[in-house]
Structure 1
């Protein structure tokens, strides 16, 4: 829900609820209700203002539970780390190898240790 996303991003940014209220000019009580998912239908103007103050985009605030919430900084750090180990944008084959490994690793986790023993 949007409230959970607001809370997570606010904390990632090191802001208190009072600071977010002050910067966004949205009442602290309204923000508190949003974060506790007591109000799950804020206006688009409120969401846009929060996205601006939290330095994120609307899509990030509106993500649903099943989606992974990754901050812009975390994504940038990840991309910089890939570049540091030699992966460049023009060499997509190397990215594909990394992603294939991640998929394989995740499928192994899902199988569990007993399934792997039987292989």
Structure 2
């Protein structure tokens, strides 16, 4: 969970929750709710700020990915996925949307070619 990774990294860096709150500009109570898993879907802005202050990638905080693994996805893709999650889309709904979009693009290309 993201909260566990934030807490472990914060402690490894020797930062208190109050210090991280001050440095990021987020309320200590909000950080606490993330770390304890009460709030499990933080905003991308929060993840970016905390990752920056802790000196880790957003990919590490979100997925536990190493730097090497995180290079597989650029920041824009991660932002899109987080936004989809924030809208409440399930993985299946996101897949269906992609499949529908792909079909529409193909149909548009085929109509253009046939005309």
Normalised TM-score (structure 1)? 0.53
- Per-residue CA shift, 1:37-60, capped at 9, x if unaligned? 000000001000000011110111
Structure 1 regions of 5+ residues with no counterpart? 72-119
Larger Rg: 1
State the superposition RMSD in angstroms.
1.7
Describe the SS at the equivalent of 2:15: coil
**What residue is the counterpart of 1:77 in the other structure?**
none
Cα displacement (A) at 1:63: 1.8
Tell me how far apart the structure 1 counterparts of residues 30 and 19 of structure 2 sit (CA, whole Å).
13
Structure 2 regions of 5+ residues with no counterpart? 68-115
**What residue is the counterpart of 1:44 in the other structure?**
44
Mapped pair 1:11 → 2:11: yes
Tell me how far apart the structure 1 counterparts of residues 57 and 40 of structure 2 sit (CA, whole Å).
18
**What residue is the counterpart of 1:27 in the other structure?**
27
Normalised TM-score (structure 2)? 0.55
Describe the SS at the equivalent of 1:51: helix
Whichever structure has more helix as a proportion of its residues is: 2
- Provide runs of 4+ in structure 1 moved above 6 Å: none
Describe the SS at the equivalent of 1:10: helix
- Superposed, 1:37-116 pairs within 5 Å as 37-63=37-63
Work out the number of aligned pairs and report it: 67
Tell me how far apart the structure 2 counterparts of residues 33 and 61 of structure 1 sit (CA, whole Å).
15
Tell me how far apart the structure 2 counterparts of residues 2 and 39 of structure 1 sit (CA, whole Å).
10
